[in-house]
Structure formats: C-alpha cells, structure tokens
Chain A
Amino acid sequence: MNILAFLIPISLGLGGVGLLAFFWMMRNNQYDDPDGNANRILSERYDKSPDGEA
C-alpha cells in the first residue's frame, strides 16, 4: 500500500495543474467569445491576440 504515498499526491497534483490552467484561461478572457474562437480556427489569418484584446 506504500504506492498510495506516491499516487495520491501525484493525482492531486495533476488535478491541481488542471485547476490552475482553468483559472489562467478564465483570467485571460478565453471564455468570452466561444463562438468566435470556433470560427477563427477556419480563418487563415494569424490571430495575434487570442485573448480578445482589440
């Protein structure tokens, strides 16, 4: 059962990374224009500010 000593912190850590990534995306306005993002991927133009700044 000693394996738990590694596995539990690792799984919590990975989950935590996901949580932090989510916070980072939210703070960078990446959820502000979901429809736009879905459509921009079709455009060949380089999107230099994906965080929605004009």
Chain B
Amino acid sequence: MAERPSIAVCPACVAIPTDLIKSAGEARSNQSRRIELSLPTIHCAACISGVETGLGKLPEIEGARVNLTRKRVAITVKDVPGIETYLIDLLTSWGYPAKELDSAALDQEMVDKAGRDLLARLAVAGFAMMNVMLLSFSVWGGAEGATREMMHWISALIALPTVAFSGVPFFKNAWTALKVGRLNMDVPISLALILASGVSLLETFEGGDHAYFDAALSLTFFLLLGRYLDHRTRSAARSAAVELAALEVHRAERISADGSRETVPMDALREGDMIAVAAGSRIPVDGVVTEGRSELDPSMLTGETMPEAVEPGTSVIAGMLNLTGALVVKAEGLGEDTLLQQITRLVESAEASKNKYTSLAEKAAAIYAPLVHILSAAAFLFWGFYSGDWRLAVNIAAAVLIITCPCALGLAVPAVLTAASGRLFRNGVLLKEGVALERLAEVDTVVFDKGGTLTTGKPQLMNGASISVQDMAVAIAMAQGSVHPMSKAIGAFGKAAGIAPAMLKDIVEEPGMGTRADLNGQEVRLGRAVWCGVESHDVAQSASWLRIGQGAAIVLLFEDIMRAETSETIAALLAEGLDVQILSGDAPKPVQSAAEKLGVDTWIAEATPADKVAVLKRLADEGHKVLMVGDGLNDAAALAGAYVSISLASAVDASRVSADMILVSDDLSQVSKSLRLAQVAKRRILENFSIAAIYNLIAVPIALLGFATPLIAALAMSGSSITVSLNAMRLGRKS
C-alpha cells in the first residue's frame, strides 16, 4: 500500500479565505453533499478498509462507502468548495487513482428500477413455479378424483395471479407490437401464457385431466430469466457508459470584468468570456489566447503527439491540454461553431447512415413467431372439424403453443451474451451493446488509428544512451516536476537507466520555451531550440535541446513508439486472414514506417475526420465488414460509422461514446482476443438455436397429434432451457 501523508487539516479549506465561505452562506457550509468518485484500481478487502478508514479520519467527511462491484466510493461530505479536487489528489497519493463522476448523470442510474422490477417478477414466478411443480408431481404420479381436482384448484390459485403479475413485461410488449400491426416474440409468448392459463382454468372447472399451470409458470420463469439476463448485460454497459461520460466534468474558470474568478459550468460560458486555463488542464472552448505563453498537447484532437507553442494571438481549440504555463483564453466559437460540435455532427450523420443491424434473435423471431401461430391455428381448426370436439381442439392448440414455447429461444441469446460479456469484462473489455458482439464475429477488415492506438501516444527519448550520464543527470533534474510530455519521457528514461538527478538550484519553467536552472553557478537550459541558443538545425523529428553553461547544445530526440503488444496483435489478426489497414491523421512518413514495421500493406496518412468516415464508407460499400480501432477525437465519427468499433480507455469522451466496445485495460492485444471470443459466442448462439429447434422438432409432432401431456410439456421446456443455459455457460470458462 502506498505511503500515506499525515492528514492534519484539509488544505482546500485552508486555501479558501474564511470570508468566502461565509459569503457563500452559513447554511451552505453546514450542508452535506454526496459525491461519487471512481476508483478503478481497488480490488480487495484491504483497499476497502484503506479508503474508508482513511477518508473517515478527515473532519469534512461524514461518511464514505466503497462499492467494490462498481469500483466507486460514495462520500457524504460537508459542502466545501474544491473538496472534490482535494479528495482526488489525496486518494491518488494513497495509491488509488481517483476520478470524479458527474453526480447528475449518476443519479439517473442510482437505483436500477427496471432491473429490480424484473427481478421481483422473476422471484414471484420462481416461487410459484416451484410450488405448482410440486403439486403437479402428485398429479403426474397418478393422483385422481378429488385429490387431483384439489391440486388443480390450488395450482390455479397460485398460478393465475402470478401469470397476471409476472407476465406483465410480455403483455406490454406484445400489446405495443400489435397496436402497430406487427408481430414480435412477445405475441406468441403472451398468447401461450393466456391460452395455457385459460384452458387450464376451464379444465379445472370441468374436472378435466390436464392442467398446464406448471407449464405456464415455467414458461414465465424461464423467459423472465432471459429477459433479466439481457437487462443486466445492458444496464452494466449503460452504467459504464454513464460513468465514462461523467469522467470528464465540464467546468471552466471565468474571469469577470473586475478581475475576480469564478468556476462556472461549461454551458454558462458566452462568446467573449475570458477564461483562465491553468497548466495541466484542458482548454474548455475554442478561442484566442490573450495572455500568457505555454505549450499545448493536441494529441487528443489530431493524433499528433508533439506539443505546439502558443502565445497571445494564437487560436486554440477546445480539448487541447495546456502543458506548461497559465493562459487566458477569449472564448470565440461556442456551441455550433466549435470543432467539437463539427465532429459531433459528423458522428451523428455517420450513425444515421449506418444500416440497422438485425440481430440473430430478431432474425429467429421473424421466422419463429408466424410459424408457431400458423401451426397452432392449423391444429385448432383441424382437430375442431375432424373430431367436432372444440374443447379438445383448444386444448391441443394450447399444447402446441406451450410446447413450441420460445423458452430456449428466449434464453439462447441472453445467456450467451451474459457469459461472453462477463468474460470480456474480466479481460478488461467493456461491451456497450450485446449485438456488437455478433457484429464483431463477422468482421473481415480491421482499421487502426496510429497515434495513441498502435503507439503509446506518449513520446519516448530515443537517443538517451548516447548522451553522457552527467548531462543526462542534469536533464533529468530539469525535467522533474514538469507535466510536459517530453519532460516526462526524460524522467522515464532516467528511472529506467537508474540515473540519479543532478543537484540543481532555482529551477524556473518558462512557459512555452523551456526550463532554466543553476548548476554550480552555471546556467543550464532545457527546451526549444531558440531557448538554448540553437539558431538553425536539421533535425526533422521532434527534439529538445540541453545547454549547459556556454557549451554546445545537446539534442534530445523523441519518438512516439509502438505499444509493446502492437506487433503481436497485428500478427495475430493477419494470421486469421483479416485485412489490416492503418488510417491516421499523422504525417505520411511516420505512418509509412509504422506500417512497414508491422507488415501492414494498406495505409492512409493525413486523413481528416471526414476522410476517415469516407474511407470506412467506401470499404462498407465494397461489402467489407470493418472493425475500427481508435482513440482520438478525430476518430470519433469513424468509430460511429464503422460496422463495429473499439476505443481505448485513454481515448477522449467522444470516441468512447461512439465506440461499441472499450478497452478499459488499454491493452491492444485484447482486440484479437475479443474477436476470437465473439466468433465463439456467435457459434454458441447458433448452437443454442439448433438445440431449441431439435427439441421442437421432437415435441411439436407429439403436440399436433394430441398426445402432449403437461408432463411432456414440462420436460421439453425445462430440458431445452437447461441445455441452452449450460451450453452458454461453457463460454464463461477460462480457455
């Protein structure tokens, strides 16, 4: 466990002048508030007690509760401004990197009402099914006369209210479909439920042999189970999507005319507002720099990892990360005009032009629903006219409907998807929508973005080994404490090479230029060429310079290197016979060298977001099913338009929102593994359909001929449902 700083007084409270708290209102300072933080790394009992006891010691905190399943902590805290940031820093320093979640977005999914509703109905159906089944055993075992009638009556008393309560989700859906003149899976289900209950009630009144109450109930139970599994997969995905959307909390610091600063939500900003952007935070709006110098990291927007220098007069784009100096930005484009909005529009149009995918379950229902109705109606008419006994005819029609019950069909897809998404989740892949897995199984082309996807998206020091240890030690010391990506790269190199930083005095960071320090009376400079007195040079790649005293400047070269697992992943995809392509916004040279290194033949460089969409559209028109893997804002539209898409956890909001799957672990090798899992999952679904079909092929003729008894119905139903679930569960095992 990480070392803990002593907790004396909350610095956030100390930093804030007391009169400010008072002016905010006495009531407010006493009011408590609930915030939630995401803690992606907690995993054990020690983590839970570490976080809870640690937070419990703070005077501002009234209560903290970790939810290990969701990897979050809910905190009730006194309403002190800035408390979130303080808590995040504190938790991060304890070794639990924390992120703030937007409480407004979270409130909507706080209590999963629909899930609880389904679960309650499922529990009632399960209870009723068990009991009625027990009563039915005595009838199947040969109970006769008064005993059988009593069993039937008790069963009716349990079954009828249960079907009325637990069947509501099916009745509702069936009614909605019928109102617009369509058939869905719920129509035969509802009909079977109503017919089975109705016929059985009639038989009970008449003292007949067969009552299908147990069948009606197990039908309800198994179908609700499928429905509930389906809901759970979807709500897990939805809650993850909400969490991701909430991760970036949108606030900006506005400077009023009198110079005072206030933190306002993004949508309160107006054109012409002056916004302060501290080093280390993102530019909230498109605009022009009016004060300050700094460097901006545009990697999220363009895929380009090298920082751009900005000074008063430079235009900046929302989403860029401010690296070194504080800036004041005058908001210009807001709403419709920002780059972000343009990309959002592209995403929307890409989504709209995407063909609707018909899932396997929908395809099965389209064949199945009419077939069952025709069979059942035919049996009814045939037996009615043939025997003239309409009571028998209704009985047989009901038996056909019950036997062909789509129990197994209703479980076939949800059971597989639950097992598959559970395994994906353990592998660090988040599936946002079940059908995406079916689409993933059909993919024949994989298109990768380069910067941040194939590569790490962070520059690395390339020529560190050829620089003397003394000079490196100076550079490492200068780079310490800077958030600049190149400084971080120098620091990382130093750590890896085991070089201790030199002793420097008076380290000053000059925003937009570099760092200056004092080494035994000599001035040392690290930064841009101009900063180190280099007037002309022929270094084509991104570089920094180090100059000690009046000596010659030493060049430090940086490159965005491949992820460790990239080549292995690409090789695995190529080995499966997939067409792999690279589609990047970066310059041709680095893209070409990356493509050659990986053995990828097709690559496109300097692609704008619109180009990317067009390329994917062309591939789709040629009949290819494309998997797009990307991370940048410039990929968002392409991700939305692709047949199926995967985004990385480190990606920007827009990309994560438009992708179908997210690599939470940021491990690219999961792309090929997920692809294989998807293929297996699809095979399981088809197997399940076959199993259900085989059961029906055997049982339907029996029912049509009028030999079906409640016992046969119960056996066929439970048998097929259990086989299908077991077949699905094979997927969850470790392979």
Contact = CB atoms under 8 A, between A and B. Distances in A.
Interface in B55-84: 62-70, 74-76
Is chain B's binding surface mostly helix, strand, loop or mixed?
helix
Contacts of A8: 135, 154
Nearest to A19: B127
Contact of B69 (A18, A33, A45, A53): A33
Contacts of B127: 15-16, 18-19
A49 B49 contact: no
A9 to B, nearest CB: 9
A15 B74 contact: no
Contacts of B75: 54
Contacts of A18: 127
B70 A33 contact: yes
Interface string B14-48: 00000000000000000000100000000011001
B68 A23 contact: no
A54 B69 contact: no
B130 A54 contact: no
Given A22-B123, A43-B48, A54-B63, A35 B53 contact: no
**B65, B75, B116, B158: most-surrounded residue (chain A CB, <10 A):** B65
A43 B116 CA distance: 29
B134 A36 contact: no
Interface string A1-40: 1001000100110011011001100100001111110011
Interface residues of A, dominant DSSP: helix
Nearest to B68: A36
A43 B64 CA distance: 16
Given A8-B154, A19-B123, A54 B45 contact: no
Contact of B68 (A4, A19, A35, A53): A35
Contact of B65 (A15, A22, A52): A52
Interface string B376-417: 000000000000000000000000000000000000000000
Contacts of B349: none
Given A19-B124, A36-B48, A26 B116 contact: yes
Contacts of A43: 45, 48-49
Given A19-B127, A43-B45, A54 B64 contact: yes
B147 interface: yes
A35 B70 CA distance: 9
B120 interface: yes
Contacts of A36: 48, 66-69
Contacts of A19: 123-124, 127
B69 A35 contact: yes
Given A35-B68, A36-B69, A15 B130 contact: yes
A49 B49 CA distance: 14
B131 interface: yes
Contacts of A16: 127
Nearest to A31: B119
B119 A26 contact: yes
A32 to B, nearest CB: 7
Contacts of B134: 11
B48 A39 contact: yes
A39 B44 contact: yes
Contacts of B74: 54
Nearest to B138: A4
Contact of B63 (A15, A34, A45, A53): A53
Given A19-B124, A45-B53, A11 B131 contact: yes
Nearest to A41: B45
A32 B65 CA distance: 12
5 contacts: A4-B150, A15-B130, A19-B127, A32-B67, A45-B52
